A and B are shown apart, each in its own frame.
Chain A
């Protein structure tokens, strides 16, 4: 008897839990899945505003952390349960596979309507991440498949208060490498920390080194190097490696920089213990949380050469895609057009301290965010280069720079070693 009762109890419990009634609503409702915890409250505010304006309800549904979100999106794609709007985290090939499977709507015609009105409102480099060019290697029809919601750039920041303490003009940060190096001895004399960054996570070294490579030899020569047409032993590359030695010798780099994780670097800069930091635009939000009174400015890395413009890594931070199978796709596009409009973008930027994807709203956001956003003019990213370096070469390159900073190797030695790895990888590829 007891056993039957247990089974009956379980059945009742399961039946009760299994019931999920569906409400019938005459108004269209757009469902958006995202992973951006820090933007969720602002998205909800904007959704309410949009509902007041149009009567269209927008449900922003947060699924964090990003790893779990990615799994959910993949699972939902398999089950054809994707929402009206969603974002894809991952590489361009993942993006392409979703398009090929028919999950993502081609937005080109919407972008180009009204004399490219929507398209022209974005930073072109932010849109580039969501575009597929003619003859792309993924076999995707050329067009725009995503809407950037915000952007990201990686630049340098400097502490204005510490600048004043060093006898420097806080409204005139260093523009050239020499000016930057000249600050090193002053930092040493004052017993402060110089440049901090997450160079323990080596990709950030790679980022700054590539910035200088573009500045010293130009994009074409960097691309030729990746294609194997120019060796890393070329004098221009040795110059790039030498910059790190010069920085170390001048004392402008913080102690322990090569093993520093970005969270520690952010903490040092936010607590006014470091004069400079090399960080992504997300740092504005991080610093605000750690020290709301921090006074700082964002600058491009001081340029080492006049020959080519300084370059930084940047592009779309987060993008939304429209479900090609959604019955609400037209309404979803209308909402995305509204969301990426000037006022909404400025509101989103002010509330979340992220950079707006709309290039026309910089006057409406805090100066430090505008400084970061203006950097988009100089932005590039390996994802849009069309060629990619061997991972072993990148590793040898980044580890080599670490060795230069700790005085273990000379720039010439590192250039030789990187070139050897490059030749080995090229030979392997030729042998295939």
Chain B
């Protein structure tokens, strides 16, 4: 009898743990149109989301979703060409995004919160473009990824493009820079050691440390608002899933679990939830997910 009671207690505990874990991974769906979406970011204290959607077969559009009423509209209503990868400064004073100028020619545009241009970093002649702009918390500089001489590296520059400095060694493909909240560190993804892993460095490019070690892609890292955690996408369990680890790379925890794709995590300012793009039943939508403790 005692044995049976212990067994029952064990089962109940196991179920409780399972339910708790399942609840931690519950998704709250924010959009329902199912179109391809990319790179959502919070702004305005977490009241709004800005994301990229393939609104027609030929156009990426940056859109703004107001969480309170669900309104969803273009950020730049009259943009004639593809715009993508928006990034906001921590204080919301300015933002950056990529703009397609012509065939395979992409610049970084930086604007203040009123929409006034602060600068545009132009691509070189020919096929050329930038990726993944990230604004320093004090918006004194913008970090981005740029390719030349067969590698793609992280750079930073003033908002007008002046004082461009390469921060990473010219090996492999480096991308997705994300500033820590105080602006002293940058976390990024790189194939400098073979395949995509997550690295951390000082904002001036010194003291590079590798944080992950997986034979499959670890990409798109994002510092949490308190700087203690990093969310990222990993293929280590067979397809794209969201993980969170400590800022030193320790204790990685899986946040999502689906046979479909979960990607593009960004932290809610409260630090307890992430917005992600999830593919569910073949549709791509924005979801909120709790970060497991």
Do the two shown chains form a genuine complex with each other?
no
Q: Which residues from chain A sit less than 8 Å from chain B, CB to CB?
A: none
Give me the interface of B with A, judged by CB distance under 8 Å. Answer: none
